[in-house]
Structure 1
């Protein structure tokens, strides 16, 4: 004969519900970790890299030249210049490549798509250092030439992803939009571009990381940036400065890639 009371039954039911909800929550956390674990690991790598650099410098007996070059205000100033070069060139890439990609994806301009992408691929295959030097002698040394060179070097990923993203939009969705009375312009801005945004953002991420890395070469044409640390290390024959310069440049590139990755995940999740 059962001796269970209503209170006992309710308690057991509540425990079962809590256990089920706990399993559900654990499953969600496991899925989130599996999908986005790199967004946690990468910042940890950056912090570890900077910590190792700090410990290394603290344990070295730096001379007056190394102390002056590695002073916080000097490194911070070069970092601002570096990020400014990368930001300007990335904005220009976005302004040029996205409208051009939209134009090339239209039916009337598809014949020009192959040649334009081929020229863009050829430009990206050229060595950035040589291109920057040639442009500096042709135009002038300084920030403007560096921004133009960085823009040309990073143009192709955004241009190609814009074209591919728009071409991958389901044709039935476009036809449905036109059947609802939308004009071709309305279909482009309300249907095609929103669906292509995740692919475009992925290309922009590649372009941004390329710009951060290539901006190191801008110092050779008088545009400043973290490449100045590398130049100073080579001129002064200071291995400590060279190690710090390489570590800082790597940390900045990883950080920018992480931030761009976060934005990309957010855009993809909202689009999905």
Structure 2
């Protein structure tokens, strides 16, 4: 029996020619986890110290007394969370439905309606809802939901349509039912785009919720309106800073969710 021998020089050359295996990217870095929250905390601390030492007049003190700031912040968070929840349970199932063969022809119509909802000025939409439903959180919530449906709906449709048809055929070929293909193949592949739409909707909701005050919905818009109406810059500044800080923190949390919930196999390798 003959033995095959190979030159060690050839092995070394092959090892040099073979590129190293790509390293698994780090999903979260300490900078991503700490930088933005630390920055927001510093801004809020500076704002608090300034207000603590500021010489406020009676009107400003009355506008901020009785835990009004905390109450407005709590209402704003509630408006954002509740509206986002309803956006998700409406837009994602609707996006899935519109990508099924039976309902694909309705996709342009549904997207046109969603576009109309976002193209309408938010304050005008809220005014129409107040005329129809009266003042209160219900009108504000419906307006915020209509305004934020488009990014989640369009990204859900785009994410499902972007899936490779050969993967769907392969999944069906191994005996998966349509529901199993959707749950185990289509949705996991579409998760990054869907989460990007959710992130956009969250930030939109934080901003749009400031207009809820004009419909009697409360929120941080109460401070902003009080500052404008009474011409008190400290109150206006406080409401604006809190709104911006909340939007930044919500966007940061959504970015973490994008990293943690996206399938590892879809991450870009360096």
What's the TM-score, normalizing by structure 2? Answer: 0.84
Q: Structure 2 stretches of 5 or more lacking a match?
A: 1-22
**Out of 203, 208, 229, which is 2:223 matched to?**
229
For 2:243, the equivalent position in structure 1 comes to 249
**Out of 151, 159, 162, which is 2:153 matched to?**
159
- Kindly provide the CA deviation profile for residues 62-118 of structure 1, in whole angstroms up to 9, marking residues without a partner as x: 123322323472111111111111111111111110111001111222222122212
Q: Structure 1 stretches of 5 or more lacking a match?
A: 1-27
Q: Distance in 2 between matches of 1:266 and 1:54?
A: 33
1:30-41 map, 5 Å: 32=26, 37-41=31-35
1:49/1:146 CA distance change after superposition, 3 Å: same
Q: How many residues align?
A: 243
The runs of 4+ residues in structure 1 deviating greater than 6 Å are: 33-36
Matched, 1:140 2:134: yes
For 1:93, the equivalent position in structure 2 comes to 87
For 1:62, the equivalent position in structure 2 comes to 56
Give the stretch that moved more between structures: 41-50 or 141-150: 41-50
Does the CA-based 8 Å contact 2:28-2:259 persist in structure 1? Answer: no
Does the CA-based 8 Å contact 2:188-2:263 persist in structure 1? Answer: no
Tell me the secondary structure at the aligned position of residue 136 of structure 1: helix
**Out of 221, 238, 261, which is 1:267 matched to?**
261
For 1:123, the equivalent position in structure 2 comes to 117
Q: Distance in 1 between matches of 2:33 and 2:263?
A: 15
Give the root-mean-square deviation of aligned CA atoms: 2.0
What's the TM-score, normalizing by structure 1? Answer: 0.83
For 1:238, the equivalent position in structure 2 comes to 232
Does the CA-based 8 Å contact 1:86-1:212 persist in structure 2? Answer: yes
1:204-215 map, 5 Å: 204-215=198-209
